[in-house]
């Protein structure tokens, strides 16, 4: 990785650095989920914890990763073009802004935890054990927002400077913290996970600050009031809250609606989403993370042709990777959930319901990945209004789809919101897919969002090479269909579970690769050429 000269850092190399670090984090995340599932299964405690963690975690994704980091990159890139001093001053001013904003949010969250729980988990009966536990855990974890927002800001600075691996590894530290606290303090119940969240936030932030100091960038905050940089940041942030985090909003809305369903529904969706996030994080988000600084630099230099080339190159890789990943997740859903979660308190009912949710999520993997990249192009062009408006429309569509597919909502004590949702349901077509319907609604909404965002790209002077990208997509689908046949044959051999999963993944990948080469997929040929180059280098 060309950390010392980010301008020479290639998109592929940066994506590889982020992808490898993210892979380590996702593996640790699976271990974390295995530990949580083994100790607590899927029930009252996990439903309460996942709701409690979802609120500060959503704010993290909106304020930190979604809006703050995404809006900061083009602003900081412009300051770099002006001068080194201006860039350093921008960091400190934005650090002060982040502290003021997130501390305020934390205090609000702590004082109004009960009201927030009632609002975002209306299916939890007021005064019930589940409701009270969720509120208490939320109070404990709200300070996490401050630490993780500073972490995201530091990571954004490091990404622009060409340092990708360490920021990408930060979530791994959180996962390690959760694993350690779950194992070491299990006697304290699920509260041990809340302590692990706080400890992980601190431990992940420190290395980022140390690295920034080592390369000459101070992270000491200055007053944000009156700062032109902060004013520019806020102008981009406001609409970016929606545009950069629409998928997280969808997940959150589905968690809210799942609180009305059978106990365990929230947990089943969470565990399925964790598996879904594995390929999404290892490749798609890694690619988007590396792409944004590259696009921002090209746009800042008015090299729009290069920006367009990088963008379409990234879209091709998304189709090449995520289409077979989606097929694989759906085909091996039962085996994956059994292998990873089926132990301790995680019973067979939980396995079946988590696997079915994973199939519904996998349908939208390609669309969610493309959506992430398209939004990066808007952010690089400093246009957050269009994706924000599209996101509002998409969120409304997701709500209607979710209410259509999830089944009837029972009357609860939180009558106001419940009655409103029931009224909306009464005018919509009725299906009863339960928690699977919520996951499917998110996938369908992702496709709608991609279509709208793609159609509006000419408004910012950009476009997708539709013929080329359609051809790449069809090649990926055709190769994935051949891969599907290979996986079915492997599953028919009745191998032990671990061997069945490993053999299915390896043989499926080999078949997919061979078919892609035969179809002359540009990405497959590039990989083949790179592998041959590595072999020659080793010799």
What integer is the mean pLDDT of 54-77? 70
| Chain segment 127-151, per-residue pLDDT in tens | 788 899 999 999 999 998 888 888 8
Contacts 24+ apart (CB under 8 A), 457-460: 457/374, 457/377, 459/383, 459/386, 460/377, 460/378, 460/381, 460/383, 460/386
pLDDT score recorded for residue 440: 95
- Taking the CA atoms of residue 124, residue 128, residue 130 and residue 131 in that order, the dihedral angle to the nearest 10 degrees is 60
pLDDT score recorded for residue 6: 43
Indicate the range of 15-19, 159-163, 349-353 predicted with least confidence: 15-19
The alpha helices in 406-434, defined as continuous H runs, are: 415-426
Whether 10 shows a pLDDT value over 60: the answer reads: no
pLDDT cut 90: percent of the chain above it = 27
Tokens of 284: 């798609």
Q: Which of 293, 170, 241 is nearest to 233 (CA)?
A: 241
Indicate the range of 75-79, 152-156, 372-376, 530-534 predicted with least confidence: 530-534
pLDDT cut 70: percent of the chain above it = 86
What integer is the mean pLDDT of 362-390? 85
Whether 492 shows a pLDDT value over 60: the answer reads: yes
Question: From CA 502, how far away is CA 517, in angstroms rounded?
Answer: 23
* C-alpha pair distances (Å), 502 with each of 94, 397, 497: 46, 38, 9
pLDDT score recorded for residue 509: 92
pLDDT score recorded for residue 297: 74
Tokens of 77: 């890139």
| Chain segment 278-319, per-residue pLDDT in tens | 777 666 666 666 666 777 777 777 777 888 888 888 888 889
| Chain segment 250-266, per-residue pLDDT in tens | 777 888 888 888 888 88
| Chain segment 76-106, per-residue pLDDT in tens | 888 887 888 888 888 898 889 889 988 998 9
Whether 111 shows a pLDDT value over 60: the answer reads: yes
Whether 64 shows a pLDDT value over 60: the answer reads: no
| Chain segment 217-246, per-residue pLDDT in tens | 888 888 888 788 888 887 777 666 665 566
* C-alpha pair distances (Å), 467 with each of 304, 377, 463, 464: 20, 19, 12, 9
pLDDT category of residue 16 using cuts at 50, 70 and 90: low
pLDDT score recorded for residue 292: 66
Question: From CA 124, how far away is CA 361, in angstroms rounded?
Answer: 24
| Chain segment 379-424, per-residue pLDDT in tens | 778 787 888 888 888 888 999 999 999 988 876 545 566 777 878 8
Please count the residues of the chain.
539
Q: Which of 489, 479, 488 is nearest to 511 (CA)?
A: 479
Higher confidence at residue 442 or residue 80? Answer: 442
Whether 475 shows a pLDDT value over 60: the answer reads: yes
Q: Output phi, psi for 528, to 5 deg.
A: -60, -45
Q: What is the pTM of this model?
A: 0.71
């Amino acid at each position: 990785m060309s950390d010392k000269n980010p301008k020479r850092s290639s998109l592929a190399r940066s994506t590889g650095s982020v992808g490898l670090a993210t892979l380590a984090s996702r593996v640790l995340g699976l271990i974390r989920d295995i530990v949580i599932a083994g100790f607590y299964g899927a029930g009252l405690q996990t439903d309460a914890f996942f709701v409690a963690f979802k609120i500060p975690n959503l704010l993290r994704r909106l304020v930190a990763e979604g809006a703050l980091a995404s809006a900061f990159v083009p602003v900081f890139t412009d300051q770099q073009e002006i001068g080194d001093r201006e860039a350093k001053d921008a960091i400190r001013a934005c650090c002060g802004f982040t502290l003021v904003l997130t501390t305020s949010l934390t205090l609000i969250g702590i004082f109004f935890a009960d009201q927030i729980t009632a609002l975002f988990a209306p299916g939890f009966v007021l005064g019930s054990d589940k409701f009270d536990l969720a509120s208490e855990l939320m109070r404990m974890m709200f300070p996490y927002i401050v630490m993780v927002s500073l972490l995201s800001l530091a990571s954004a600075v490091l990404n622009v400077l060409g340092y990708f691996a360490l920021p990408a590894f930060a979530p791994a530290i959180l996962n390690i913290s959760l694993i350690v606290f779950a194992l070491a303090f299990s006697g304290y119940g699920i509260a041990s996970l809340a302590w692990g969240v706080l400890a992980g936030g601190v431990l992940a932030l420190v290395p980022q600050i140390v690295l920034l100091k080592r390369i000459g960038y101070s992270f000491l905050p200055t007053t944000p009031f009156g700062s032109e940089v902060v004013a520019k940041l806020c102008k981009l942030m406001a609409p970016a809250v929606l545009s950069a985090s629409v998928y997280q909003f969808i997940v959150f809305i589905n968690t809210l609606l799942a609180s009305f369903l059978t106990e365990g529904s929230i947990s089943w969706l969470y565990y399925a989403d964790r598996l879904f996030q594995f390929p999404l994080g290892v490749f798609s988000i890694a690619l988007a993370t590396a792409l944004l600084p590259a696009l921002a630099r090209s746009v800042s230099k008015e090299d729009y042709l290069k920006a367009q080339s990088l963008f379409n190159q990234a879209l091709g890789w998304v189709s090449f990777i995520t289409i077979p990943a989606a097929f694989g997740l759906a085909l091996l859903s039962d085996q994956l959930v059994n292998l990873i979660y089926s132990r301790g308190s995680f019973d067979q009912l939980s396995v079946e319901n988590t696997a079915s949710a994973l199939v519904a999520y996998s349908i939208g993997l390609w669309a969610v990945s493309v959506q992430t990249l398209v939004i990066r192009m808007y952010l690089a062009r400093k246009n957050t209004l269009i994706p924000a408006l599209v996101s509002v429309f998409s969120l409304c569509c997701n709500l209607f789809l979710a209410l259509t597919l999830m089944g009837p909502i029972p009357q609860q004590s939180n009558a106001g919101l419940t009655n409103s949702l029931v009224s909306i349901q009464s005018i919509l077509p009725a299906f009863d897919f339960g928690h699977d319907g919520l996951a499917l609604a998110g996938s369908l909404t992702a496709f709608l969002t991609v279509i709208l965002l793609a159609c509006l790209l000419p408004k910012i002077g950009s476009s997708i090479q539709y013929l080329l990208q359609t051809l790449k997509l069809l090649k990926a689908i055709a190769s994935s269909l051949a891969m599907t046949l290979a996986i079915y044959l492997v599953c028919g051999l009745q191998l032990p579970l671990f061997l069945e999963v490993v053999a299915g993944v390896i043989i499926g990948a080999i078949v997919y690769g061979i078919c892609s080469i035969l179809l002359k997929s540009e990405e497959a040929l590039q990989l083949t050429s790179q592998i041959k180059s590595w072999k020659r280098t080793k010799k």
